[in-house]
Structures are given as C-alpha cells and as structure tokens.
A = this chain, B = another copy of it.
Amino acid sequence: MNFIIKNRLTILYGISLALLLFLLRWLELKFIIFEHSLEIYLGAIAIIFTSLGIWLALNLTKPKIKTLIIEKEIYINHETGFILNEPELARLGISKRELEVLQLMSEGLSNQEIAGQLFVSLNTIKTHSSRVFEKMDVKRRTQAIEKAKKLSIIP
C-alpha cells in the first residue's frame, strides 16, 4: 500500500500514457476507416502532444522558486533584565527601606516626594538618605546614584 501511495504520480503517468496511445490508435482507425483528411489527424496529434509536453513540464519539473529575503531589523533593549547585586548590598549594610529611598532618588524624586510616596515624614527620608550616604561613603545623592548603578544595586 505504501508503495502505491509513494509512486502514485508515476502510476498516474503510466495510465495517462496508455490512454493516450489508445486515443491515438482510435484516431488512426477513424482516419483509415472513414478516410478523413490527413491534416485533421496531424493537427490532433500536434495538439495532444503539445498539451502532453506542457503537462509534463508543469508537473514533472520542480517549481521555480524565487526566494526574496527581506531582513527585518528588530531592536531589543536588554537593559530590562536587572539583577540586584545582593552581596554588595549586604557588604555595604544597606537596609530594605534605605534601598527603596535610594531607588526613588535615582528616579529623580525630591526628598519631599519620596516621603509622600512612602507615607513617611520628610525627616525620615533625610535620615535614611544620610545613612545611605554614610554607608556608601559618598557626599551627595548624585554620587550615591552613580555608585549604586555601577555596583548594580539599582537598575
């Protein structure tokens, strides 16, 4: 069964050829018996074999494929994946809350804005930031941000 399925195209071609030969024989008989003109017979043969040729060419040759390669550029920003450098964080002794304050600082928020966001007083934020600067051994928030980014403590 598998053999038949695999070679079904070849078998079909064989059957078609056989039928074609029968057709030709029938045309020849008609030509001989009824004494029709030679031209009609020749014309029929020409048409049939031209068709055969076209059919053979279309079905037995592999289709011509013109491959058009279009390169589409996709820009990927792989800065999204941020991995917190926890050992460094532990080494500096920065607490969770302090890190939070540091993060909001790096986003450009003022102490007052950070206080509002974390629902604490301005003084609390000042204390936190002072401790962070002390622990990180920096003098200003801008320095803290710079250093923290270099150390992968903040994104």
- Interface residue ranges, A against B (CB under 8 Å): 42, 45-58, 61, 63-79, 105-110, 138-147
Question: Copies of this chain, how many?
Answer: 2
A64 to B51 alpha-carbon distance, docked (Å): 19
Q: Is the CB of B58 within 8 A of A56?
A: no
Let me know if B72 and A75 touch, CB within 8 A.
no
The one of B76, B107, B108 in contact with A75, judged by C-beta atoms closer than 8 angstroms, is: B76
Q: How far is the CA of A138 from the CA of B108 in the complex (A)?
A: 9
> Shortest CB–CB separation between residue A148 and chain B, in angstroms?
11
The chain B residue with its CB closest to the CB of A32 is B38
Q: Which of B49, B67, B146 contacts A49 (CB 8 A)?
A: B49
Question: CB-nearest residue of chain B relative to A45?
Answer: B45
A140 to B104, CA, bound (A): 13
Task: Compute how far the CA of A58 lies from the CA of B143 in the bound complex, rounded to whole angstroms.
Answer: 68
Question: Nearest chain B CB to A40's CB is how many angstroms away?
Answer: 13
New A-B pairs, 9, CB < 8 Å, besides A78-B79, A141-B142: A53-B54, A65-B66, A74-B75, A74-B76, A76-B77, A108-B138, A108-B140, A108-B146, A110-B139
A146, chain B: closest CB distance, angstroms = 5
